[in-house]
Structure 1
């Protein structure tokens, strides 16, 4: 059974459906690549997947070690190269308003984030700049 079913909607727009949940995502080509930029671009989704995966794996560790991640947020900046057109760098900046104070627990969470499946799956040519604001 497929994980995702997709349809081309025309005008450089796609719709993807997560088969198990029925959740749908629309993607649109960015303005600088002939699109309307009215939704996440495919490369935006790659960048978003990195941050989301990092926090998901941190969450697994946090639940196991009884750490509250309340107040954790992050911003992602995607930098494209033009020749060839591809993702050159993804910058993830974490901010945690009320982090735990135990240095070992903090390091365990950081290690979990840096070894998430998406981080390990991205081409090494894509620079991953991760800033932990805690």
Structure 2
């Protein structure tokens, strides 16, 4: 089995990670409330982003399979931290669908798969996942 990602510590609480298949790179910084610069996504920001992106991806697959057009859907993600231990306590994910006159059946098909993708199923059960749909 070969690695998927290679990361390197750059100092000053900054890490550069490379997706080995594509060569795409990203930088993470510690957040300002944890001695960081806050100039890039923090690792916990990426966790919240992964959760929202993974849910949107499974919705996209389901939409495609059912002939539903959800292109243009936007996501707002709110990460809520807890202390002792410092961790992500809740992620609130709000989906804003474009005005495409979705039927109740189409909405139900999309909403039903929201918690069934790999990231939501992989994180701790202690992480509260709040998902809201705005049609």
- Out of 61-70 and 48-57, give the one that drifted further: 61-70
1:6-55 C-alpha deviation (Å, 9 max, x unpaired): 10010000011101000001000000001000000000000000110011
Is 1:8 aligned to 2:9, yes or no? yes
Helix, strand or coil at the partner of 1:7? strand
* Aligned position for 1:125: 126
Gaps of 5+ in 2: none
* Aligned position for 1:27: 28
**Closer, same or farther: CA 131–28 of 1 in aligned 2, 3 Å:** same
Helix, strand or coil at the partner of 2:21? coil
* Aligned position for 1:62: 63
TM-score by length of 1: 0.95
RMSD value, Cα: 1.0
Find the aligned partners of 2:14 and 2:101 in 1 and give their Cα distance. Answer: 42
- Out of 65-74 and 118-127, give the one that drifted further: 65-74
Gaps of 5+ in 1: none
Structure 1 runs of 4+ with >3 Å offset? none
Q: CA deviation at 1:101?
A: 2.3
- Out of 106-115 and 79-88, give the one that drifted further: 106-115
1:72-123 C-alpha deviation (Å, 9 max, x unpaired): 1110000000111000000001111224522222111112222111111110
Q: How many residues are matched?
A: 134
Find the aligned partners of 2:129 and 2:100 in 1 and give their Cα distance. Answer: 23
